[in-house]
Amino acid sequence: MMPLKIIFLISDIKDSATYVRAFNLSKQMVSLGHDLTLMVVSAELLFGKVSYLRSGVKIIETPRFLHNGLGHFTRRLFLDPGTGILDIWTRVKELLRGNYDIVQLFDHSLNVYLPWLVLRNRIRGKFVSDWCDIFNYEGGLRYAYCFRLDRIYRVIGFPFRKFSQSLEFGLRRRVDGVTAISEGLKEFAIRHGVPKEKVFVVEGGADVDAIKPIPKAEARQRLGLPVDSSIVGFLGTFQGDLDIVIKSFVKVKKVIPDSYLLIIGRPSTWIKTVVADAGISASYIEAGRCSDEMLPQFLACVDVLTLPLKENLASATRWPNRIGEYMACGRPIVVSNIGDTAKVVANNKIGMVAGTDIDSFADTIVKLLQDVPLAQDMGKKARDLACSKYAWALQAAKLERIYFQLLASTSPARPDVPDV
């Protein structure tokens, strides 16, 4: 197959969850022989831009100026607006001169939507939209967050959310192809007007090369953690569901007093407050944000990893990135009975599926902690599944096939579908 010239446009700031997905796919696409450019908003540069190579991928960090509009106020109205003028202009220029075969759009913010809108009939490449999360739809991510003065923001932000919703749905209806992160999101897209033949599923992946099983005792000794105690783990930058784990752990602690809760991810005063209010501060281990080198060590310390999900549309259609890390490290998973991830865990026996209430989640954790042989067997199956089905290399190969299928199609001119 001929090598393709591909560009990924990421709406968010570098090192976000979306960036992790895009970068892992992009470096694997390079391994398949393709030319990959990835554009992302810089976390440091306010006005300038910088380009460099990482794992064979050309990364262009664009100016952060006005990315979030009026800051927290704008984000609370409709999350990630991507309103940076310099950022948008930099992306338009790159698309005009880049002669790309594929333009992959991650999310739908203005810094992704406007370059597509301006150039969709001016460049020869195919536009593909990656859909990972539902935002401005009842039950979507905007409704999963609860801000201070949230009721007021919901009222004054209504027209902004309707506008963002028109971008979110209008983009997916009008591009050449859509890559949905889950079967649930694919079904949602089809129900809301995206032609069935244009929607493909590319789940999140597992970095099986960077994250490998490590003996538990070895990892705990290295990090100075209790060798013989039970440790329940949670990994995630999006911590909207973490309260399920904390409340469940209170009940786990009553059954298994010598147990600890390890949380890996961005530290926050909210977590410390909730942990203190729950009376489990002495059993709480804060790993914080780990380096790529240390993440496998912390994951290896855990007996059971948790994937809590709340009952809403966002959870039912998500594929949380963390399940890839969970599977790769070879530890059993407890997941709420919501969405695709629950089906993967149950069908492949890589953990146990809990109910959506706190008691069920706690009881399921306890079952795995008390049945060590079962937990070990499930952990081994999780690693095997990561390598055989969800490795990032396999997900990139799937994406490559989608690209060639779209390029081979002789689709008519892109229709002007209303943004309802």
Give 200's contacts (C-beta < 8 A, 6+ positions apart): 177, 178, 179, 180, 186, 398, 402
Distances (CA, A) of 78 to 30, 40, 105, 382: 34, 20, 19, 37
Over residues 84-119, the pLDDT tens digits come to: 999 999 999 999 999 999 999 999 999 999 999 999
Inter-residue long-range contacts of 55-63, CB under 8 Å, 24+ positions, other chains counted: 55/23, 55/27, 55/30, 56/27, 56/30, 56/31, 57/23, 57/26, 57/27, 57/30, 60/90, 60/94, 61/14, 62/86, 62/87, 62/90, 62/91, 62/111, 63/87, 63/90
Count CB neighbours of 35 within 10 A: 17
pLDDT in tens, 151-183: 766 667 667 777 778 888 999 999 999 999 999
Q: Which domains does the chain have, with CATH numbers?
A: 5-205+392-408 (3.40.50.2000), 216-390 (3.40.50.2000)
Instruction: Give the rounded percent of residues in the chain with a pLDDT score beyond 90.
Output: 74
Inform me whether the pLDDT recorded for 420 exceeds 60: no
Measured distance CA(82)–CA(64) in Å, rounded: 9
State how far Cα 148 lies from the chain centre: 25
Confidence band, pLDDT 50/70/90 cuts, at residue 417: very low
Cβ density class 247-266: b for 16+ within 10 Å, e for less: bbbbebbeebeebbbbbbbe
Question: With contact defined as beta carbons under 8 Å apart, do 60 and 49 qualify?
Answer: yes
Helices first, then strands: H and E counts in the chain: 18, 14
3-state SS of 320-388 is CCHHHHHHHHCCCEEEECCHHHHHHHHHHCCEEEECCCHHHHHHHHHHHHHCHHHHHHHHHHHHHHHHH
Which amino acid is residue 366, in one-letter code?
Answer: V
In the prediction, which pLDDT does 167 show? Answer: 87
pLDDT tens-digit readout, 265-295: 888 888 889 999 999 999 999 999 888 899 9
Q: Distance between CA 47 and CA 50 in Å, rounded?
A: 10
**Residue 15: per-residue pLDDT:** 83
* pTM (2 d.p.): 0.90
Q: Are 410 and 169 in contact (CB under 8 A)?
A: no
107: nearest Cα among 70, 147, 67, 145: 67
Residue 268: per-residue pLDDT: 83
pLDDT score recorded for residue 419: 39
Give the confidence band of 134 by pLDDT, cuts at 50, 70, 90: confident
Q: Are 16 and 38 in contact (CB under 8 A)?
A: no
Does 203 have pLDDT greater than 90? yes
Provide the CA 224 distance to its chain's centre, in angstroms: 30
Q: Name the DSSP letter for residue 241.
A: T
* DSSP-derived 3-state class of residue 406: helix
Structure-derived torsion over alpha carbons of residues 176, 182, 184, 188, reported in degrees to the nearest 10: -20
Task: Quick: pLDDT tens for 291-312.
Answer: 889 999 999 999 999 999 988 8
Q: What is the pLDDT of residue 141?
A: 60
Q: How high is the pLDDT of residue 412?
A: 46
- State residue 238's pLDDT score: 63
Q: Is the pLDDT of residue 144 over 70?
A: no
Asked if residues 285 and 265 have their Cβ atoms less than 8 Å apart, the reply is no
Tell me the per-residue pLDDT of 239-252, one tens digit each, with 9 for 90 and over: 678 899 999 999 99
What is the structure's pLDDT at 379?
98
Confidence bin at 342 (pLDDT 50/70/90): very high
pLDDT digits over 17-36, tens only? 889 999 999 999 999 999 99
pLDDT at 414: 44
- What pLDDT was estimated at residue 17? 80
| Non-local CB neighbours of 401 within 8 Å, separated by 6+ positions | none
pLDDT on residue 150: 65
Q: Which residues contact 109 (CB under 8 A, 6 or more apart)?
A: 11, 12, 80, 81, 82, 167
Check if the beta carbon of residue 176 is closer than 8 Å to that of residue 127.
yes
Residue 415, pLDDT above cutoff 60? no
Average pLDDT over residues 188-203: 96
What value does the mean pLDDT of the chain take? 90
Which of 12-16, 86-90, 106-110, 228-232 bottoms out in mean pLDDT, i.e. has the lowest? 12-16
How many residues appear in the chain?
A: 420
Average pLDDT over residues 397-418: 75
Mean of pLDDT values over 377-401: 98
How confident is the model over 36-81, as pLDDT tens digits?
999 999 999 999 999 999 999 999 999 999 887 656 656 666 656 7
Identify the pLDDT of residue 83: 87
Q: What confidence score (pLDDT) does residue 68 get?
A: 76
Q: What distance in Å separates the CA atoms of residue 286 and residue 226, rounded to the nearest whole number?
A: 14
Answer whether residue 145 shows pLDDT above 50.
Answer: yes
Q: Tell me what pLDDT residue 212 has.
A: 96
